[in-house]
């Protein structure tokens, strides 16, 4: 599998969007320019905001069409979503998700759902921030409540005599998330963390390194790998490359804790290999999240995700 | 030579490394395979549970004895090791599925999961020359355990294992699927609870009569990663254990929360199971831990380079006694404690809290410096005595106090009985700590290998990390710590210790809101203890523990204290202290020693602070956190010149 052959392009969000007209456009409502600009500019027959209860919105709900559910767990949140569409028609739609404001587990679950119902491909947008407002002190999640596999992204664990489990983390700004995942899977023999490099902004790499240093000892020996923070396809390829180097792998745990593009990359790897390898996706969950950590917008990416056939 | 202490987690070791680095816990037989009582091996992060449990597991037995036959002949048991976190307990909940369905599915899955481990382990004997003859008989008997008849093409172990794996995969598929559909499509529970876990060993011993005395130990690590209802199921298996099987279960202390079975029975400690608290054992047997720690270090060094360092202790510079001379040389009499004293007296005069005059200050200072030959520690003793007199407020003047201090000190120097004997005996360490902090000489706070072992307080991982970090720092400072003639400076040790202490605090695995409360509480508690160490007139010496009456303490505070104990932030101190005022036996907790360097607190306990209920609530009841500041200020005022209870009192004196 060569993930780098997937299609991506980028453009200035202040200018005309380089996108086709979609049947359905889904974005997460987080009251930021980074999601509002694409929402206004993308052409689609139907646009739908997702309102996640974890964001604890203070203001009024959007005037536009939106979907929400009070359940925080990703599989429960989308329960009513299925009823909005006829599955057969949905399968034929041209769909775009703006991943920018999405909660990562919800993004993963939605992608898994689209793959499951047989969609062949979707476009996913991501708009880079100008910068994180509090630099390396930025905290996204408030308190980590539990670490678990993302619904719809689990697999059959291997029971070998000598366990040779691997944990691969896309590590980002929130170092406590990494620490929580490493602690949950403390029995993993091999640990890797993929750092976003080039990062979204020049100083982001250094800032995330600073944060990583704080938790180094909790994680134990973890090998550092690199993949561009904006590139899901190189991320997926990097995971593939890592695993080729480890003989007799037992269980593989992926944990997307960095940018949305890298999260998409992990999901892509999962979808393509879930039938072939014991791969699962782990995530440290919080009851509440905060949004609006960024200032400005830089560029918007469009990734075309071709799903594997269901038989894969 | 590479840093021999680089690896600090047993999970990163190969089986061979687990064997090589194994150090027994002296004469204590924590795990005795011949004893059928199930054991729960408990402890904080890094206390050595995984190393211990893996050491007794089948892959390690194989390394030691070679063949299955040899293992049974020598050990008389096989250890079937599994890590329960691999089950991913959280998959078995929610998704619109009822609790009852999840429970039934989990139990079935658990059987298949453990059964699969066991069958794979036994395959080494069954598929060997000795076992193959009875293979089909064994497989047939196992296949009959399933509720729905198992049809295998060939009755061999490979086919049986494959069947079990397919069953398990089907469930995994259903679990993944149900997230989207909200209901199971095709799940059949095909085993009764415990059917494989208890009957495979029985059937094996029956079929392979030559091994009839063999024992099976299910070693299950990371029990804390299960949900409570799942733990109760495991407890039920422990409760129902059947010959020739037993259980050794490893868990973090905070995961050892419920010893009930599914039917509500509580496992009886002693007769039905026996817990062993690893870090508590070492905390209470410090001599044994010291021996254990030194052997651990010796093995690491030997493995890294048998010819290199053998005496690591000699590499550590020790220097607590040098600190006074160092400060004397660097400050040349220009001490911060004298400046602070002058400021405080001036302020007290200005606010009308004392009757002395500005022009008396120099005389007071001269009296306090007299006969000390500029030795800052001797001055500290005198000033402490001066503050004691000031705080007692027997309506004399500060200048009179200073004269008394001077006269008593002269007697002390002549060897006569005075109050100084007690001050030196009780407060020397605190006053040295004050000197270190005031003069920026913190490096002297902790030094020497013995201090590192004490700081790690029964936790091998903390010790390894302390060693790793101090050696790393010494390497950065080009001290060549592991080469002949190299050393580890006080600065390298201090920085290594500080970093380890910071790591321990930041990574205490505290989750949710209660986790953030615990974080606040430990920081506030440390600030409180700092008052005892760094005040003008501490009321007790080397305080790093507190004592409190549990009677009227709120549930919130009790819960948080308990949580902090389970996460090894606080350690319940095993003594029978009585509270000074009430005389009742009370509970005493000490801040974990490795946390102490975060705030330059003492790591060894001498004094214990008696906390009132109000203080306990302000520290540990999140609803009363807002009252911490006022409690803190009140204590601060009581312990620092001009020794007034609050600002109002200052105002009253003024007007």
Dihedral over Cα of B606, B612, B616, B619: its sign: negative
Cβ neighbourhood burial of A153 (10 Å; 0-12, 13-18, 19+): buried
H or E segment and range at residue B258: none
- Whether pLDDT at B647 is above 60: no
Contact B225 A184 (CB under 8 A): yes
Residue B58, pLDDT score: 95
**Interface contact B550, partner A, CB < 8 A:** no
Which residue shows structure tokens 């938790």? Answer: A215
| φ, ψ of residue B228 in degrees (nearest 5) | -60, -40
d(CA B342, CA B331): 17
Question: DSSP of chain A, one letter per residue?
Answer: --GGGS-EEEE-TTS------EEEEEEE--SSHHHHHHHHHS-EEEEEEEE-GGG---SPPPSS-EEE-S--SHHHHGGGTGGGS-HHHHHHS-EEEE-TT--HHHHHHHHHHHHHTT--EEEEEEEEEEEETTGGG---BS-EEEEEEPTT--------SS---EEEEEE-S-HHHHHHHHHHTTT-SEEEEEEESS-SSHHHHHHHHHHHHHHHHHH-S-EEEEE-TT-HHHHHHHHHHHHHTSTT---EEEEE-S-HHHHHHHHHHHHHHTTTS-EEEEEEEES-B----EEEEEEEEEEEEEPPPTT-
Report residue B582's pLDDT band, with 50, 70 and 90 as the boundaries.
low
Domains in chain A: how many in total? 2
Contact B507 A113 (CB under 8 A): no
Shortest CB distance from B85 goes to which of A146, A151, A184? A184
Residue B616, pLDDT score: 96
Do A40 and A146 lie in one domain? The reply is: no
Residue of chain B nearest A154, judged by CA positions: B176
Shortest CB distance from A185 goes to which of B50, B85, B515? B85
Does residue A225 belong to any structural domain of this protein? Answer: yes
Do A141 and A232 lie in one domain? The reply is: yes
CATH number for the domain spanning A64: value is 3.40.50
Report residue B400's pLDDT band, with 50, 70 and 90 as the boundaries.
very high
Residue A137, pLDDT score: 53
| φ, ψ of residue B432 in degrees (nearest 5) | -65, -40
Note whether B246 and B218 are within 8 A (CB): yes
Do A281 and A139 lie in one domain? The reply is: yes
| Alpha carbon separation from B621 to B284, B524, B566, B627 (Å, rounded) | 29, 12, 17, 10
d(CA B452, CA B479): 19
Looking at the complex, report in whole angstroms how far the Cα of residue A242 sits from the nearest Cα belonging to chain B.
Answer: 17
Which residue shows structure tokens 């259903």? Answer: B174
Average pLDDT over all residues of chain B:
90
Read off the tokens for B142: 């196992």
Read off the tokens for A84: 């909005």
Partners of residue A189 in chain B, C-beta under 8 Å: 11-12, 14
Does residue A311 belong to any structural domain of this protein? Answer: no
Note whether B543 and B429 are within 8 A (CB): no
Nearest to A198 by CA among A234, A227, A174, A175: A227
Contact A215 B176 (CB under 8 A): no
- Whether pLDDT at B497 is above 70: yes
SS3 (DSSP) at B503: helix
Report residue B337's pLDDT band, with 50, 70 and 90 as the boundaries.
very high
The pLDDT tens digits for A138-173 are 555 557 888 999 999 988 888 766 678 999 999 877
Residue A132, pLDDT score: 64
**Interface contact B655, partner A, CB < 8 A:** no
Note whether B18 and B60 are within 8 A (CB): yes
Any residues with CB less than 8 A from the CB of B180 and at least 6 apart, and which? A75, A112, A113, A116, A152
Residue B653, pLDDT score: 39
Range of the domain at A86: 3-133+293-306
Contact B113 A165 (CB under 8 A): no
Note whether B329 and B620 are within 8 A (CB): no
Partners of residue A151 in chain B, C-beta under 8 Å: 94-95, 179
| φ, ψ of residue A152 in degrees (nearest 5) | 80, 5
- Whether pLDDT at A122 is above 80: yes
Q: Residue B213 gets which letter from DSSP?
A: T
Question: DSSP of B117-146, one letter per residue?
Answer: HHHHHHHHHHTSTTTGGGHHHHHHHHHTTS
**Interface contact A143, partner B, CB < 8 A:** yes
* Residue A24: cis peptide before it, omega within 30 degrees of 0: no
The pLDDT tens digits for A213-238 are 766 777 777 888 899 999 999 999 99
- Whether pLDDT at B296 is above 60: yes
Looking at the complex, report in whole angstroms how far the Cα of residue B500 sits from the nearest Cα belonging to chain A.
Answer: 9
Region B441-458: mean pLDDT is 89
Report residue A179's pLDDT band, with 50, 70 and 90 as the boundaries.
confident
d(CA B320, CA B433): 10
Do A183 and A242 lie in one domain? The reply is: yes
Note whether B239 and B269 are within 8 A (CB): no
Residue of chain A nearest B87, judged by CA positions: A157
CA B203 to chain centre: 42
Do A248 and A278 lie in one domain? The reply is: yes
- Whether pLDDT at B501 is above 50: yes
| Alpha carbon separation from B310 to B19, B306, B456, B483 (Å, rounded) | 21, 8, 21, 11
Shortest CB distance from A143 goes to which of B116, B173, B511? B511
Any residues with CB less than 8 A from the CB of B125 and at least 6 apart, and which? B68, B69, B131, B208, B211
Does residue A312 belong to any structural domain of this protein? Answer: no
Partners of residue A76 in chain B, C-beta under 8 Å: 94-96
Does residue A276 belong to any structural domain of this protein? Answer: yes
CA A283 to chain centre: 10
Note whether A179 and B507 are within 8 A (CB): yes
Give the residue from B88, B106, B124 with the most A CB atoms within 10 Å of its CB, the best one to mutate: B88
- Whether pLDDT at A177 is above 80: yes
Report residue A312's pLDDT band, with 50, 70 and 90 as the boundaries.
very low
% residues pLDDT > 70 (chain A): 89
Enumerate the H helices of B182-322 as residue ranges. Answer: 195-207, 228-239, 278-284, 286-304
Note whether B225 and A184 are within 8 A (CB): yes
Partners of residue B12 in chain A, C-beta under 8 Å: 189, 220-221
Interface of B with A in 152-191 (CB under 8 A): 165, 168-169, 172-173, 175-176, 179-180, 182
Partners of residue B48 in chain A, C-beta under 8 Å: none
Do A117 and A183 lie in one domain? The reply is: no
Tally C-beta pairs within 8 A across A and B. 121
Do A183 and A80 lie in one domain? The reply is: no
Interface of B with A in 1-60 (CB under 8 A): 6-9, 11-12, 14-15, 45, 50, 58-59
**Interface contact B638, partner A, CB < 8 A:** no
Residue B552, pLDDT score: 85
Give the residue from A108, A158, A186, A212 with the most B CB atoms within 10 Å of its CB, the best one to mutate: A186
Looking at the complex, report in whole angstroms how far the Cα of residue A110 sits from the nearest Cα belonging to chain B.
Answer: 10
Interface of B with A in 474-503 (CB under 8 A): 500, 503
Partners of residue A160 in chain B, C-beta under 8 Å: 120
Dihedral over Cα of A26, A32, A37, A38: its sign: negative
Dihedral over Cα of B535, B540, B543, B547: its sign: negative
Partners of residue B85 in chain A, C-beta under 8 Å: 184-187
% residues pLDDT > 90 (chain B): 69
Nearest to A119 by CA among A84, A98, A80, A89: A89
Q: Looking at mean pLDDT, say which of A251-255, B447-451, B502-506 comes out highest.
A: A251-255
Does residue A75 belong to any structural domain of this protein? Answer: yes
Contact A161 B180 (CB under 8 A): no
Partners of residue A218 in chain B, C-beta under 8 Å: 503, 506-507
Does residue A171 belong to any structural domain of this protein? Answer: yes
**Interface contact A109, partner B, CB < 8 A:** yes
Could you tell me the strand order of the sheet in which B215-221 lies? B77-83, B215-221, B245-252, B39-43, B274-277
Contact B88 A152 (CB under 8 A): no
H or E segment and range at residue B218: strand B215-221
Q: Facing residues of A283 across strands? A: A148
- Whether pLDDT at B654 is above 50: no
The pLDDT tens digits for B262-279 are 999 999 998 999 999 998
Interface of B with A in 505-534 (CB under 8 A): 506-507, 509, 511-513, 515-516
Residue B446, pLDDT score: 84
Partners of residue B19 in chain A, C-beta under 8 Å: none
Looking at the complex, report in whole angstroms how far the Cα of residue A148 sits from the nearest Cα belonging to chain B.
Answer: 6
Do A57 and A95 lie in one domain? The reply is: yes
Residue B510, pLDDT score: 81
Do A122 and A148 lie in one domain? The reply is: no
The pLDDT tens digits for B234-252 are 999 999 999 999 999 999 9
Partners of residue A73 in chain B, C-beta under 8 Å: 94-95
Note whether B178 and B93 are within 8 A (CB): no
Strands (E), B238-291: 245-252, 274-277
Q: How far apart are the first and last CA of chain A?
A: 12
Do A205 and A84 lie in one domain? The reply is: no
Does residue A115 belong to any structural domain of this protein? Answer: yes
Do A21 and A126 lie in one domain? The reply is: yes
Does residue A244 belong to any structural domain of this protein? Answer: yes
Region A204-212: mean pLDDT is 70
Looking at the complex, report in whole angstroms how far the Cα of residue A142 sits from the nearest Cα belonging to chain B.
Answer: 9
Read off the tokens for A204: 């982001």
Do A121 and A29 lie in one domain? The reply is: yes
Give me the half-sphere count of Cα atoms (radius 13 Å) on the Cβ side of residue B134.
17
């Amino acid at each position: 599998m060569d993930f780098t052959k997937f299609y991506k392009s980028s453009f200035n969000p202040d200018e005309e969007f380089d996108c086709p007209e979609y049947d359905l456009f889904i974005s997460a409502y987080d009251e930021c320019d980074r999601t509002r600009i694409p929402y206004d500019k993308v052409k689609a027959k139907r646009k739908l905001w997702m309102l996640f209860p974890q964001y604890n919105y203070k203001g009024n709900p959007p005037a536009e069409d939106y979907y929400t559910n009070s359940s925080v767990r990703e599989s429960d949140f989308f329960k009513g979503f299925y009823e909005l569409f006829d599955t057969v028609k949905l399968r034929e739609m041209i769909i775009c998700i703006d991943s920018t404001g999405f909660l990562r587990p919800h993004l993963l679950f939605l992608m898994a759902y689209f793959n499951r119902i047989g969609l062949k491909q979707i476009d996913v947008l991501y708009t880079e921030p100008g910068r994180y407002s509090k630099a390396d002190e930025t905290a996204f999640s408030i308190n980590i409540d539990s670490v678990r596999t993302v619904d719809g992204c689990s697999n059959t664990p291997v029971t070998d005599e000598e366990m040779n489990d691997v944990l691969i983390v896309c590590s980002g700004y929130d170092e406590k998330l990494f620490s929580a995942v490493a602690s949950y899977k403390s029995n993993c023999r091999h640990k890797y963390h993929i750092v976003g490099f080039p990062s979204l902004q020049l100083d982001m790499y250094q800032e995330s390194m600073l944060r990583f240093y704080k938790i180094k000892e909790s994680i134990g020996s973890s090998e550092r790998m690199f993949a561009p923070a904006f590139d899901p396809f190189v991320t997926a390829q990097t995971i593939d490359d890592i695993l080729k180097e480890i003989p007799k792998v037992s269980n593989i745990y992926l944990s997307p804790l960095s940018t949305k593009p890298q999260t998409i990359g992990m999901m892509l790897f999962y979808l393509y290999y879930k039938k072939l390898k014991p791969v699962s996706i782990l995530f440290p969950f919080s009851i509440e999240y905060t949004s609006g950590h960024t200032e400005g917008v830089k560029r918007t990416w469009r990734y075309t995700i071709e799903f594997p056939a269901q038989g894969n | 030579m590479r840093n021999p202490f680089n690896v600090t987690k047993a999970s990163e070791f190969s089986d061979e490394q687990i064997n090589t680095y194994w150090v027994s816990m002296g004469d204590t037989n924590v795990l005795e395979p011949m004893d059928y009582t199930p054991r729960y091996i408990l402890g904080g992060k890094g206390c050595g549970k995984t190393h211990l449990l893996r050491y007794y597991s089948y892959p390690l037995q194989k390394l030691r004895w070679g063949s299955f036959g040899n293992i049974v002949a020598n050990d008389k048991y096989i250890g079937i090791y599994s890590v329960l976190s691999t089950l991913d307990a959280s998959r078995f909940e929610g998704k619109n599925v009822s609790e009852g369905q999840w429970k039934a599915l989990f139990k079935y899955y658990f059987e298949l999961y453990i059964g699969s481990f066991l069958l794979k382990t036994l395959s080494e004997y069954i598929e060997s020359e000795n076992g193959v003859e009875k293979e089909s008989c064994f497989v047939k008997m196992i296949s009959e355990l399933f509720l729905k008849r198992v049809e295998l093409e060939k009755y061999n172990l490979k086919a049986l294992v494959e069947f079990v794996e397919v069953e398990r995969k089907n469930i995994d598929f259903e679990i993944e699927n149900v997230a989207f559909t909200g209901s199971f499509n095709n799940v059949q529970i095909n085993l009764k609870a415990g059917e494989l876990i208890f009957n495979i060993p029985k059937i094996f011993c029956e079929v392979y009569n030559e091994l009839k005395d063999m024992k099976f130990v299910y070693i299950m690590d990371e029990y804390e990663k299960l949900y409570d209802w799942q733990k109760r199921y495991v407890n039920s298996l422990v409760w129902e254990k059947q010959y020739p099987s037993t259980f050794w279960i490893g868990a973090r202390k905070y995961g050892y929360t419920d010893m009930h079975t599914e039917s509500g029975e509580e496992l009886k400690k002693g007769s039905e199971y026996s817990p062993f608290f690893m870090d508590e054992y070492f905390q209470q047997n410090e001599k044994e831990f010291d021996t254990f720690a030194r052997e651990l270090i010796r093995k690491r060094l030997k493995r890294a380079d048998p010819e290199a360092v053998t005496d690591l202790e000699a590499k550590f510079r020790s220097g607590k006694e040098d600190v006074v001379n160092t400060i004397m040389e660097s400050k040349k009499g220009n001490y911060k404690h004298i400046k602070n004293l002058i400021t405080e007296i001036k302020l007290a005069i200005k606010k009308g809290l004392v009757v002395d005059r500005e022009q008396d200050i120099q005389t007071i200072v001269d009296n306090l410096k007299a006969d000390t030959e500029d030795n800052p520690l001797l001055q500290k003793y005198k000033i402490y005595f001066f503050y004691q007199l000031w705080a007692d407020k027997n309506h004399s003047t500060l200048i009179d106090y200073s004269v008394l201090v001077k006269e008593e000190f002269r007697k002390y120097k002549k060897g006569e009985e005075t109050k100084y004997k007690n001050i030196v005996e009780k407060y020397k360490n605190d006053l040295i700590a004050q000197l270190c902090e005031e003069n920026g000489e913190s490096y002297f706070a902790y030094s020497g290998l013995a201090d590192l072992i004490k700081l790690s307080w029964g936790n091998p991982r903390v010790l390894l990390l302390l060693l790793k970090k101090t050696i790393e720092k010494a390497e950065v400072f080009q001290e060549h710590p592991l080469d002949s003639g190299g050393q580890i400076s006080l600065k390298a040790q201090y920085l290594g210790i500080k970093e380890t202490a910071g790591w321990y605090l930041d990574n205490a695995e505290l989750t949710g809101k209660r986790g953030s409360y615990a974080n606040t509480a430990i920081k506030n508690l440390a600030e409180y203890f700092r008052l005892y160490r760094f005040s003008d007139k501490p009321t007790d010496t080397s305080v790093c523990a507190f004592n409190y009456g549990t009677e009227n303490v709120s549930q919130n505070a009790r819960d948080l204290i308990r949580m902090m104990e389970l996460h090894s932030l606080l350690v319940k101190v095993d003594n029978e202290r009585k509270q000074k005022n009430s005389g009742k036996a009370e509970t005493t907790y000490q801040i974990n020693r490795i946390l102490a360097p975060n705030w330059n607190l003492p790591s060894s306990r001498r004094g214990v602070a008696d906390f009132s209920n109000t203080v306990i609530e302000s520290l540990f009841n999140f609803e009363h956190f807002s009252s911490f500041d006022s409690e803190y200020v009140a204590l601060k005022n009581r312990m620092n010149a001009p020794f007034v209870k609050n600002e109002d009192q200052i105002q009253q004196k003024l007007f």
